[in-house]
Amino acid sequence: MLTAKHYSPRTIRNYIQEMRFLFAHHCDLLPQCIVSKDIIAYINFIVKEHGVGREKCHQVAQSCSFFFKHVLPSPFVIPSQFYPRKENKLPQVFNKDQVKQLISVITNLKHRLVISLFYGTGLRMNEMANLKICDIDSKAFQVKVIGKRRKDRFTILPKHLLDDMRKYYRLQKPQTYLFEGQTKGKPMHTRSIQHFVQQYVTKIGLGGKDYSAHTLRHSFATHLLDAGVDIHTIKELLGHNNISTTMVYLHLQQSKRAVLISPFDSLENNGQ
């Protein structure tokens, strides 16, 4: 079922493991007899006894939601949104000067291209790692993206990166994936990407401040909004299923906040 719905191997592994733990905890109950209060009791148990955090609670709730919706249908299961993945705090965003500074300290061509493409395309980490040469359309200036659950979309290819991309291709001669790992023909590992991105972020004095490769994706969206691109277009570029996910970037706009004027101050005759 999970495979048919194009869930990743990691997600499948996690869901199966969480359900095994739940059934072991409620070993006196048959799976079909488990209801919401039993799941809540289990989540409260792992929080109290094992000190697990919000992310773990969300994973358990998601696993239960899937199992009792698709595998063993039940109307009494707690929705996963009752245990959100994280607090509703706004993500970090680089300003344009920080992006320029970040790119300027990178001498490694491959690393510079990866980081530039994160900012220039808005790709997720896994999407960048699995980006294929055949997905690059240099004539239409777009990138085909195989997103979450095999959902295809297109995003922007920055014109100013084409020369560096061609130079990189001539030097590295990648076979299938644009950014190969140590094994020829295999994609670069996401951990490797995370590692060097963090190195450069630290180099410009932003280490330990929640800046990461994903911050470049947030910056891509926020700066497009600043430039006047509409929210629905940005939703499609990012591959969001729900517009509410994209709406968070409205709170991050920098140029709009800088020029905000009270409607009272805009009155021609305000009594002065």
- Asked if 54 and 86 touch (Cβ cutoff 8 Å), the reply is yes
Place 36 in a pLDDT band, splitting at 50, 70 and 90: confident
What pLDDT score was predicted for residue 81?
Answer: 58
Do 9-82 and 96-257 show the same overall fold?
no
Q: Each residue of 19-34: pLDDT tens digit?
A: 999 999 999 999 989 9
What is the topology classification, in CATH, of domain 96-257? hpI Integrase; Chain A (1.10.443)
Whether 255 shows a pLDDT value over 60: the answer reads: no
Question: At residue 151, does pLDDT exceed 60?
Answer: yes
Question: Under CATH, to which class is 9-82 assigned?
Answer: mainly alpha
SS3 271: coil
pTM more than 0.75: no
The mean pLDDT of the chain is 87
Of these ranges, 119-123, 222-226, 256-260, the one predicted with the greatest mean pLDDT is 119-123
The top-scoring range by mean pLDDT among 85-94, 114-123, 227-236 is 114-123
State pLDDT tens for residues 153-187: 999 999 999 999 999 999 999 999 999 998 999 99
- The residue written with tokens 């101050």 in the block is 265
Question: Which positions are catalytic?
Answer: 124, 148, 214, 217, 240, 249
* Least confident residue range of 49-58, 179-188, 201-210: 49-58
Q: Where are the domains of the chain?
A: 9-82, 96-257
Nearest to 197 by CA among 90, 92, 100, 114: 114
Residues 6+ apart with CB under 8 A from 15: 2, 7, 62, 63, 66, 67
pLDDT of residue 78: 64
How much is the pLDDT for 168?
Answer: 97
